Structure 1
Amino acid sequence: MSVTNLEYLFKPKSVAVIGATNDPRNAGNIVMRNIMAGGFMGPVMPVSNTAEAIAGVLTHTSVKHLPKTPDLAIVCSPLDEVPEIIHSLKERGTRGAVLMGSGFASMTHEERLDIKSTILGIAKPPEIRLIGPKSLGFMIPSLHLNASLAHSDAAPGKVAFISQSDSLFATVLDWAKAKGVGFSHMIALGSRIDVSFADILDYLGSDPFTRSIMLYVESIKDAREFMSAARAASRNKPVLVIRPGKALDTVLGDLKLRETGDHRLVDAVYDVAFRRAGMLRVENIDGLFDAAQTLGTPKHVYGNKLAILTNGTSAGIMAADRLLDGGGELAELGEETIAAIDEVLGEKNWSRANPVDIPFDADGTMYSAVLKLLIKDKNSNGILVMHVPWTAQPDMEVARALRDSLKRVKRMVLTAWLGSGAAEESREVFRKAAVPTYDTPTHAVRAFLYMAEYLRNQEMLIETPDSLPSDFFPDTETARATVAQALQQDREKLNEPEVKDILAAYGVPVVDTRIAVSAKDAVIAADELGYPVALKLRSPQIPQAYDVGGVLLDLETPERVWEGAASILARCTRERPDAYIEGFTVQKMGRRPGAHELFISASVDPVFGPVLAFGHGGMAREMIQDTALTLPPLSMSLARELVGRTRIASLLKGSPPQLPTDIDDICLTIIQISQLLIDVPQIISIDINPLYADSEGVLALGGKIRVAPYLDEGEKRLAIRPYPRELEETVTLKTGRTVTLRPIRPEDEETHRAFLANLSDDDLRLRFFGVVQRNFDHKDIARFTQIDYDREMAFIATAHDERGMPETLGVMRTNTKPDNTEAEFAIVVRSDQQGSGLGSILFNKGICYTRQRGTSELIGQTMIENKAMQGLSKKFGFVITPDQHDEDLVNMVLDLKKGNS
């Protein structure tokens, strides 16, 4: 939906409690007591027909009798009374409501749909924003607002927690109190008939008082909205998520969340979606807070190599084991570091390796001296300092010494003070100094690994993908025609020649295949293909011909083919007399000695749409269970990351005497299948197994494809909108130069860097409203070139220079609100191209695009001295007004709906 009117929910100046009561077990009484106890400074107005006063506050008999319009209404009345209440609130002008009343859980599925439709029809979000039904409410500690049914309040802080579960809401609240963690927001979403995870992520992603966001997610309703909001929020601040996983999927199976695809992959699909959105998934509540503590610091971890400093050898070994089990590495100490520690401790008084075990009675001075040496060593990505209590050495003395030595240190240093009592006092010293601290080595190492994984996920968001091969031109029409023919014949499964035709149309090398309906036809097909051949039984009742001995390989003569067909028929008649025999598949033998057997498959998840899988293939695929998943669309970098998450990836690197496998060809094949799913949305599953791969490339022996009718555009079923190739066009400038207008792509990073470098100082100042440093780093350029096409658009004008190299001449950007009511634009043309008409062409392109997607207004700002920009905007019908907050700026607004009339 959008963030429209969410401020009335989360920044209310007045609150009404509808259905308030003096019954201490009733929601209307609990929430009234919580609001009053919290100390909310605005008016609190209970509405009740049964009590004169509740929690010391006089009541009102109805919404229309309230002395003022409440920003927020907490509705505790039974759900069947809610439609009438929402109607009254709407008449009063209330913009936010939380539905806490009973009744939703006891309704049937049809009754829930009916009451949902009725409530939404009256509220018409975003006119009134709704949380719930079946919501526990929320807390905004900075406002002293506890509008929840929780048993206690939350301390103020910088962490936001959004939960789909009421029970976990209460559990996290208790956990946070024990950990000393405060919150900016705690929100229980309930049944989400309006406000969703995506809405909250959009709202909190730009909230200056929220440093990190934690989610408890069981299911997602709109994958596209969720992914866009999550990707946007995680670019600004850490977003952590916990999901129960396999047990939850078993419980929810009856709710038909898995009507298609592999049931075992439901949680794995959520996992890859979280990773693709740049979020960090954690295992449990404890891990949620451990990760939040580490990610809340301004220090980063750019790898998984950890140095461990401890006064207890066994504790150090425990930490090292946890690190290695979790996929981390023990940092190898540099020779200079070892020599320097020798001078501090003595060569025989420590391990001379990592973990660094100093004497058990080491004092603060010794700890600090060794730590400073480890900080200087660049071989590690972080340092864990551990302390085992010893009677003769006070914990606090060591803690204070380390705290003082870390005041200006930029490296990531974590601490783990073992024990309780005095150890807890030491941990408090570190907390106040913003040094991540934990009570066990396991928690500390887990937090470090979480941070390393989080940074890897973030790098995926801003990594510059390798360019796709320029000669990849799939024959989409052939693929679509083949699928259309099967659908016209009411067939769900394509035969092998059809599969081969589709794969070949998308550039996947395949073995020549023929269909034969008899032994005689099989011999004819083998003669055409050339020997040796493979012969395979075709029967709809026998999906795996190997099971009945229905596959013969290396048949080298017509006689062998004839005899083989007869023996397969005899075996099948004996073992499966019920099976209908369609004939045989005859295939040219694919000779790839020593090649790895891989697989690429795809299915359609009911929530996230098409999902690609890759891994170790062959007949042992199910036994090996080496699979990684990803969501299309893909770049070469994302495909390479997918391959790297499998165990077989290490074998693909090669080892004497075997040459390394052509990884680029594997990645290209994955991308080709990804593009096929986008271009031909009638395809609901693909399975290529085996896919041979070696140093010469890949070869598919065949595959399976299932199809079903699908009338909409292919990109609409994807969780992430792909590159909109249909928006490309060629135009001619006044100078006669031909340029291409197209959406920007991630691989445009280098040309965009050169484009910015070629802008004059004055153009840069007018574009960015002030003096700008020219040294844009990778993160800056990535934000310009790696955009979410669902919310952003950047049209670039590109052409080739005199050397034949691509260059960017100008760019028009739009950034659209999630509810599509408004888009903000910015435009800049390279200084030497101004006056060529390119500015008008780009401006018109952006206006047409936003109007076509149904956006209501296109708005922008420019400096009052930028007369050229103002003149251009007037040419296209923009209304220009002075900015009320800054006298140096003017606002430009175009009513796009008016332009349609």
Structure 2
Amino acid sequence: MNRSTATDWENEGGASGERPLDAIFAPRTVAVIGATEKAGSVGRSVLWNLISSPFGGTVHPVNPNRRNVLGIKAYKDVAAVPDAVDLAVIAVPAATVPGVIRECVDAGVKGAIILSAGFRETGPEGAKLEQQVVEQAARGRMRIVGPNCMGVMRPHSGLNATFAPRAARPGNVGYISQSGALDMAVLDWSRKENVGFSAFISVGSMLDVGWGDLIDYLGDDPHTKSIVIYMESIGDARAFLSASREVALTKPIIVLKAGRAEASARAAASHTGTLTGSDEVLDAAFRRVGVLRVDSIAEVFDMADVLSKQPRPRGPRLAIVTNAGGPGVLAADALLEHRGELAELSPESTAALNALLPEAWSRANPVDVLGDADAQRFGRTIEVLAEDPGVDGLLAILTPQATTDPTATAHEVRRHAKILGKPLLAVWMGGESIEEGTKILTEAGVPTYLNPGTAAHVFTLMWKSSYNLQGLYETPRTPVDDATGGFAAAREQAEAVVAEARREGRTILTEAESKRLLAFYEIPTVPTTVVQTADEAAALAESIGFPVAVKLNSTTVTHKSDVGGVRLNLFDADAVRGAFRAIEKSVAEHVGPEAFQGVGVQPMIQPEGCEILLGSSLDPEFGPVILFGAGGRHVEVVADRALALPPLNTTLARRMMEQTRIYTALKGIRGQRPVDLAALERLLVRFSNLVVEQRWIKEIDVNPLFASPDRMIVLDARVIVHGPEVLADDLPRTAIRPYPSQYASPWTSTRGEHVMIRPIRPEDEPLMVAFHATLSERSVSFRYFHAMKYSARVAHERLTRICFNDYDRETALVADYRDPETGERKILGVGRLSKVRGGSEAEFALLVSDQFQGRGLGTELLHRVIQVGRDEHLARIVGDVLPENVEMLRVCEKLGFRLTRQLDEPVVRAELAL
């Protein structure tokens, strides 16, 4: 029996077709509350902008003291407006705003833009006003932009709900900003540079509508080709990351974040805490979801322009073609400074260029075609380099010389404006003589710059953007966890250790306890046993075998070496006894005898391989953060580290390592064998599981972790937990929702097959390829409402969208079956629940392998999908079913769905209120 609905995997739209923020961005009726004729006032400016730039809707001034404003009839309040108001633009004193919002909600207004200032930025009284606004808006589910903002423009429709002195030009850039002053400057700059916008949005303090809402909205907007953001604060980190991850793959998201210089390391009790800075975390967050961060307004719009015209490079290797050596060197310097690479020419390319170019050409990259190069020489050189597999992008640099024809050369270069998978940039240097050539290239879609350094930097930013996006949907290696997505036994054992410490009022775990936590998650550690007397230490050392190390065991001291609490390379029992007594005495002198609670004795591991620092700490905006880098005693001085947001998979673990310099050593240098990088990736994933699952842990320091070609082992570890003042509801959550293992549990079919039903994971892509091979044409047609070729169904670009769930937005449950005879794993069925953005509704989809139909799996999957909907606090779930799919209709009826069909509709609507 086939279980299938019409809802396609890629469909994220709601049933009604309306978008949550249409009341603000596409209103039919606007009320300007605080409209006035006072010259220079906000109320007058916004009313004039709305009526002087027709957007196809009606504008009503609201002012209790006037009968009309600017010749338009005015109303005493929004309730008196004769039309149903979609959007209220509010320009009244802050103290009156809560009352105005109350009146709007009572009148059924669904959207508001609060231009007024005087809220949280002014202190506690302003914050109290904001809270009152939130409470009133919640009564009617009203969405609010602002307060303390400039407003919203939609140039293509003519909507200008701002007090800006001039409107933005229509274009394809969606602009979002937290700074009204900057917005004014950008508007002036954009008109001078002829840059157009699909939306121009000033968000102010983001009381309600935030980055995630706006990125989602512009992601669906056909006029928007790229999204640029000026950001001062992150707001709801999870919403921002979730929306960015979904949209960035199809529309570039470019962010200019203020405050980089203000970000500094925060003091903490561990190396990790001192090294984690909020700005570094922000970079890691952007990298995780494919967002490109830049450092200036010029770069923002440079990247919006180039990414809309040229393909992203597949790698960092740039080939430079120039008719002058100096500019080529400048480009190369800028390229290397910003972590790009000069492409190494292949023997075939070198041979082709030897035949094409004069004897005196540079014979290397940059390729100097010499000052007498004509247009054809320039063009043919680009053609050769474009065919070189070692070249990821090209930069053409022209300087006017005696025999140079910039216009003819531009005509020749434009023939290569579209090179599959390889961007082409140009630098036409000079003044009046190059203007026509620059115009030709620009019209052909070849971004053109005035100096070589800028162009080379733009290429490195393009590669950075491409690198970030590649990581979004790169299928990880074999999963390291069990079928439920976590280590259930490890989780319980680790929780017990942490709980015991908190019961004792402690925030610091001993080294032995910290190592036990790591061992529960299969992270290898040097075994450590705690003893309370010198004789016990000596006896234990003899049983272990010499040499040994003896370390302070303390529930209050975090850095043992600072108080003389470490003794290494002890070769006999007397040395161990002496070490015990020396540590006890030193600790008593430094911090007091109560800090000494015995010692830990462990075998002395001879250092081999690379010393690695591994840790986690809490960021105030993004929650838990994982750190990886060079370890050892001088970790703060070396400062070679990378950060990542959990949860990790093996792909993300490798990409975090790639950000560090020590990664080069891990791959093997000077003839040394490389570390088992795959094993290190899996270790990092297990560490990520620990960080995600043990929410009472505040910080973890693992330093050093020795990694060699043959093994990995932790020598020292330290864990800090939250104190008794922290309540469960106060625990920070991960910025990216982790794998929802609570939805995984076994099930037995009507024929006795044992199946694990669990949420899907990125690692399941190969299993999904095999699953689609088991589907009949009938099943496929019932599922998608049309025939779909197998090759299309299993394309990597499509399957990654299915397997890489954002669990905040969707949950796909797979039936994972392991053949008891062969051990082969198969996916037998998939049920998916996709939330409709901005509402409390979700759409379901279902598909079961033909070979496994008729065994109750479809019913079980849909039953579990319903339970997921309830657990996620949804109001209802819906789906469409073909009328001839009678089996699916029966299942829906059996589980309580209401089935309806309109006469003009080809499908049956299944709806279940939760």
Residue 566 of structure 1 deviates from its aligned partner by 4.2
Distance in 2 (alpha carbons) for counterparts of 1:25 and 1:862:
58
Q: Superposed, which structure 2 residues align to 1:173-184 within 5 Å?
A: 173-184=187-198
Letter of the 1:737 partner, please give it.
Answer: E
Where does residue 588 of structure 1 map in the other structure?
602
Distance in 2 (alpha carbons) for counterparts of 1:874 and 1:714:
42
Contact 1:825–1:860 (Cα < 8 Å) also in 2: yes
| Deviation string, structure 1 residues 621-664 (Cα, Å, up to 9, x no partner) | 11111111111111122212222221111111224553322223
2:848 aligns with one of 804, 829, 833: 829
Distance in 2 (alpha carbons) for counterparts of 1:746 and 1:875:
32
| Deviation string, structure 1 residues 172-200 (Cα, Å, up to 9, x no partner) | 32333343221111111111111111111
Contact 1:554–1:589 (Cα < 8 Å) also in 2: no
Contact 1:134–1:190 (Cα < 8 Å) also in 2: yes
Distance in 1 (alpha carbons) for counterparts of 2:612 and 2:157:
57
Where does residue 504 of structure 1 map in the other structure?
519
Where does residue 294 of structure 1 map in the other structure?
306
Q: Superposed, which structure 2 residues align to 1:772-811 within 5 Å?
A: 772-775=788-791, 776-801=794-819, 803-811=822-830
2:859 aligns with one of 836, 840, 845: 840
Name whichever of 136-145 and 32-41 sits farther off.
Answer: 32-41
Contact 2:263–2:277 (Cα < 8 Å) also in 1: no
Please say if 1:609 is aligned against 2:615.
no
Distance in 1 (alpha carbons) for counterparts of 2:100 and 2:827:
57
TM-score, normalised relative to structure 2: 0.91
1:140 aligns with one of 146, 154, 174: 154
Letter of the 2:715 partner, please give it.
Answer: L
Aligned residues: 887
1:207 aligns with one of 205, 216, 221: 221
Q: Superposed, which structure 2 residues align to 1:439-450 within 5 Å?
A: 439-450=450-461
Where does residue 265 of structure 1 map in the other structure?
277
Where does residue 4 of structure 2 map in the other structure?
none
Residue 140 of structure 1 deviates from its aligned partner by 0.7
Residue 245 of structure 1 deviates from its aligned partner by 4.2
Residue 824 of structure 1 deviates from its aligned partner by 0.7
Name whichever of 196-205 and 794-803 sits farther off.
Answer: 794-803
Please say if 1:170 is aligned against 2:184.
yes
Please say if 1:285 is aligned against 2:297.
yes
1:374 aligns with one of 385, 404, 423: 385
Distance in 1 (alpha carbons) for counterparts of 2:372 and 2:140:
64
Distance in 2 (alpha carbons) for counterparts of 1:441 and 1:881:
64
2:772 aligns with one of 750, 753, 756: 756
Residue 680 of structure 1 deviates from its aligned partner by 2.0
Partner-residue secondary structure (3-state), 1:87: helix
Please say if 1:332 is aligned against 2:344.
yes
Residue 765 of structure 1 deviates from its aligned partner by 2.3
Residue 52 of structure 1 deviates from its aligned partner by 5.8
Contact 1:5–1:126 (Cα < 8 Å) also in 2: no
Name whichever of 829-838 and 267-276 sits farther off.
Answer: 829-838
| Deviation string, structure 1 residues 458-509 (Cα, Å, up to 9, x no partner) | 1211111112346785533322211111111101111122222222222222
Where does residue 815 of structure 1 map in the other structure?
834
| Deviation string, structure 1 residues 804-830 (Cα, Å, up to 9, x no partner) | 311111111110124451111111111
Distance in 1 (alpha carbons) for counterparts of 2:900 and 2:506:
61
Distance in 2 (alpha carbons) for counterparts of 1:541 and 1:755:
54
Distance in 2 (alpha carbons) for counterparts of 1:583 and 1:816:
53
Q: Which structure 1 residue ranges, 5 or more long, are not aligned?
A: 897-901
Distance in 1 (alpha carbons) for counterparts of 2:383 and 2:865:
55
| Deviation string, structure 1 residues 537-557 (Cα, Å, up to 9, x no partner) | 466786434345443211122
- Larger RCO, structure (CA 8 Å, separation 6 or more): 2
Partner-residue secondary structure (3-state), 1:176: helix
Partner-residue secondary structure (3-state), 1:661: coil
1:69 aligns with one of 84, 95, 105: 84
Name whichever of 304-313 and 672-681 sits farther off.
Answer: 672-681
Call closer, same or farther: CA 1:501–1:334 in 2, change over 3 Å.
closer
Residue 419 of structure 1 deviates from its aligned partner by 3.3
Q: Superposed, which structure 2 residues align to 1:455-470 within 5 Å?
A: 455-469=466-480
1:355 aligns with one of 366, 377, 382: 366
Please say if 1:695 is aligned against 2:701.
no
Distance in 2 (alpha carbons) for counterparts of 1:573 and 1:811:
62
Residue 68 of structure 1 deviates from its aligned partner by 2.3
1:38 aligns with one of 53, 56, 59: 53
Contact 2:818–2:825 (Cα < 8 Å) also in 1: yes
| Deviation string, structure 1 residues 362-388 (Cα, Å, up to 9, x no partner) | 343332222222222222111111222
Call closer, same or farther: CA 1:873–1:420 in 2, change over 3 Å.
farther
Where does residue 317 of structure 1 map in the other structure?
329
Residue 528 of structure 1 deviates from its aligned partner by 4.9
Where does residue 10 of structure 2 map in the other structure?
none
Distance in 2 (alpha carbons) for counterparts of 1:365 and 1:114:
70
Name whichever of 700-709 and 540-549 sits farther off.
Answer: 540-549
Where does residue 899 of structure 1 map in the other structure?
none
Contact 1:132–1:189 (Cα < 8 Å) also in 2: yes
Letter of the 1:153 partner, please give it.
Answer: A
Where does residue 365 of structure 1 map in the other structure?
376
Distance in 2 (alpha carbons) for counterparts of 1:126 and 1:412:
49
Distance in 1 (alpha carbons) for counterparts of 2:557 and 2:503:
24
Partner-residue secondary structure (3-state), 2:314: coil
1:20 aligns with one of 31, 35, 46: 35
Contact 2:152–2:199 (Cα < 8 Å) also in 1: yes
| Deviation string, structure 1 residues 413-440 (Cα, Å, up to 9, x no partner) | 1122223445444333333222222232
Partner-residue secondary structure (3-state), 2:471: helix
Q: Superposed, which structure 2 residues align to 1:89-100 within 5 Å?
A: 89-100=104-115
Distance in 2 (alpha carbons) for counterparts of 1:486 and 1:475:
17
Letter of the 1:436 partner, please give it.
Answer: P
Residue 319 of structure 1 deviates from its aligned partner by 0.9
Residue 54 of structure 1 deviates from its aligned partner by 4.5
Residue 341 of structure 1 deviates from its aligned partner by 3.1
Contact 1:823–1:859 (Cα < 8 Å) also in 2: yes
Contact 2:480–2:685 (Cα < 8 Å) also in 1: no
Where does residue 891 of structure 1 map in the other structure?
909
| Deviation string, structure 1 residues 742-799 (Cα, Å, up to 9, x no partner) | 1111111111011112211232222122221321321111111111112111111121
Letter of the 1:382 partner, please give it.
Answer: G
Name whichever of 706-715 and 679-688 sits farther off.
Answer: 706-715
Residue 7 of structure 1 deviates from its aligned partner by 0.1
TM-score, normalised relative to structure 1: 0.92
1:532 aligns with one of 544, 547, 555: 547
Distance in 2 (alpha carbons) for counterparts of 1:671 and 1:359:
52
Letter of the 1:365 partner, please give it.
Answer: Q
Distance in 2 (alpha carbons) for counterparts of 1:797 and 1:530:
50
Partner-residue secondary structure (3-state), 2:617: strand
Partner-residue secondary structure (3-state), 1:143: coil
Please say if 1:744 is aligned against 2:755.
no
Contact 1:5–1:96 (Cα < 8 Å) also in 2: no
Distance in 2 (alpha carbons) for counterparts of 1:860 and 1:318:
59
Please say if 1:82 is aligned against 2:97.
yes
